[in-house]
């Protein structure tokens, strides 16, 4: 069983502090590190998905703020630019905001520039650690829920996009639940949606599942329906990029059709996400900004990924493409939201607000 990949780390070589990313655009073909020495480089890495996934975007944003401070950027401006690099995952702005608050408080307390950037860095490190701890708790709670819902064990889980160690300081969210089931010998099959157009399932989840020795099978996104109708799916487990106050879930495009399928086939649909992904200031799904991505990701294959291999056109030149990065699943289709601090099921506005109040008070 291979060790989990390290998606992001802070380093301090003699030339000055940097953020080192495992470049997810190059996986699984190559494990290449991408060194970000400044904020524009990090923003480019975020936009082009070298670093991605909601919890890790939060961690990257927090370290990015510390990087801005230590490298002499205008910190307030850097905070705005970093927060806006991708709009849907609320964790990004959350992580930037936490490090910014620590930075400002340190300055207000009389610290000089050195003390202030170190305060931002300490906050980023704290968020990174908390994320790892949250992963472990989500895995435990998700596994307990699966055991309750599927007392026969031997789970056949369908997942979408990538939600493992590549998106987290720990083992991730939904994939961490599958990993926990695997460790106790109860993961009969992990069905991995390829996740068009950027293939996070095929490139990243399959990579992580293989390293962890999980029994997994890759399918094209549009094969999911036949898998359900053949009775091969016991539960769907996915992550989230933002959960609105009413329990609407924004996640990788293709999640909503899975929720519809799951409901039709009476299969539990579980969303696994840290409480940092819950945004009570966003009222409902309609208020979530869904990132629209370039047509090239759809009109070329593989997905217009930056890298050495140019994409191959699969549509006539100039074809327009509808390419939202995420979709919204309404709360009534979600069986449960599993967080590090508890489970909300059924998913209601009140249940979610109570869970957040408990989390934020302790």
Task: Choose, by CB under 6 A, the member of 25, 53, 123, 178 that binds ligand MRU.
Answer: 53
Minimum distance between the CB of residue 146 and ligand MRU, rounded to whole angstroms? 17
Asked if residue 241 binds ligand MRU (CB under 6 A), the reply is: yes
Residue 1 CB partners (closer than 8 Å, separation 6+) = 211, 212, 213
| Near ligand MRU by CB under 6 A: residue from 179, 239, 247, 254 | 239
**Strand bridging mode 249-252 / 326-329:** antiparallel
Taking the complex as a whole, how short is the minimal distance between the CB of residue 308 and ligand MRU, in angstroms?
Answer: 21
Site for ligand MRU in 102-141 (CB under 6 A): none
Shortest-Cβ-distance residue relative to ligand MRU: 239
Binding residues for substrate: 52-54, 86, 200, 251-252
Q: Does 23 bind ligand MRU (CB under 6 A)?
A: no
Q: Whose Cβ is closer to ligand MRU: residue 121's or residue 303's?
A: 303
Q: Point out the annotated binding site.
A: 52-54, 86, 200, 251-252
Least Cβ distance, residue 52 to ligand MRU (angstroms): 3
Cα dist from 297 to 22, 91, 179, 190, whole Å? 21, 24, 30, 26
* Residues labelled as active-site residues: 241
Site string for ligand MRU, 320-349 (x = CB under 6 A): -----x------------------------
Going residue by residue from 138 to 177, which x/- string records binding to ligand MRU, judged by CB under 6 A?
-----------------------x-x---x----xx----
- Least separation in angstroms between residue 55's CB and ligand MRU is 5
Give how many residues touch ligand MRU by CB under 6 A.
18
**Distance from C-alpha of 75 to C-alpha of 22, rounded to nearest angstrom:** 25
CB 56 within 8 A of CB 8: yes
Q: Is 87 in the site for ligand MRU (CB under 6 A)?
A: no
Scanning residues 250 to 269, which ones bind ligand MRU (CB under 6 A)? 251-252
The residue among 258, 209, 206 whose CA lies nearest residue 236 is 258
- Exposure pattern of 53-85 as b/e (b: 16+ CB <10 Å)? bbbbbbbbbbbbbbbbbbeebebeebbebbbeb
Q: Which is nearer to ligand MRU, 239 or 351 (CB)?
A: 239
Taking CB under 6 A as the rule, does residue 178 contact ligand MRU?
no
CB of 242 to ligand MRU, least distance (A): 9
Q: How far apart are CA 198 and CA 302, in angstroms?
A: 7
Among 83, 141, 200, 339, binds ligand MRU (CB under 6 A): 200
| CB-nearer residue toward ligand MRU: 55 or 331 | 55
Query: What is the nearest approach in angstroms of ligand MRU to the Cβ of residue 88?
Result: 8
Contacting positions for ligand MRU (CB under 6 A): 49, 52-55, 89, 161, 163, 167, 172-173, 200, 239-241, 251-252, 325
């Amino acid at each position: 069983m291979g060790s989990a990949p390290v998606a992001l780390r802070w380093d301090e070589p003699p030339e000055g502090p940097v953020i080192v990313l495992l470049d997810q655009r190059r996986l699984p073909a190559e494990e290449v590190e991408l060194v970000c020495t400044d904020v524009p480089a990090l923003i480019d890495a975020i936009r082009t998905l070298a670093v991605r996934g909601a919890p890790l975007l939060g961690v990257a944003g927090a370290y990015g703020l510390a990087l801005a401070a230590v490298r002499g950027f205008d910190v307030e401006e850097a905070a705005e630019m970093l927060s806006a690099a991708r709009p849907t995952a609320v964790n990004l702005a959350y992580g930037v905001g936490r490090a910014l608050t620590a930075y400002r408080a340190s300055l207000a307390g009389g610290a000089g520039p050195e003390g202030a950037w170190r305060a931002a860095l300490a906050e980023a490190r704290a968020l990174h650690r908390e994320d790892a701890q949250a992963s472990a708790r989500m895995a435990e709670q998700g596994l307990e829920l699966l055991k309750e819902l599927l007392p026969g064990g031997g789970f056949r889980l369908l997942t979408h996009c990538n939600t493992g160690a590549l998106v987290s300081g720990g083992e991730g969210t939904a994939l961490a639940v599958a990993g926990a089931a695997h460790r106790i010998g109860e993961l009969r099959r992990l069905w991995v949606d390829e996740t068009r157009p950027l293939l996070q399932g095929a490139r990243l989840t399959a990579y992580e599942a293989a390293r962890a020795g999980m029994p997994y099978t890759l399918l094209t996104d549009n094969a999911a329906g036949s898998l359900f109708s053949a009775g091969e799916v016991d539960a769907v487990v996915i992550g989230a990029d933002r959960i609105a106050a009413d329990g609407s879930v924004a996640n990788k495009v293709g999640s909503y059709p899975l929720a519809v399928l799951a409901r039709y086939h009476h299969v539990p649909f579980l969303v696994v996400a840290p409480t940092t992904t819950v945004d009570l200031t966003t009222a409902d799904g309609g208020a979530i900004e869904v990132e629209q991505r370039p047509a090239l990701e759809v009109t070329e294959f593989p997905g217009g990924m930056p890298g050495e291999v140019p994409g191959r056109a699969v549509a006539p030149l100039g074809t327009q493409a509808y390419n939202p990065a995420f979709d919204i699943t309404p709360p009534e289709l979600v069986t449960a939201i599993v967080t590090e601090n508890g489970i909300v099921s059924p998913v209601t506005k009140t249940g979610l607000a109570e869970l957040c109040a408990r989390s934020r008070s302790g």
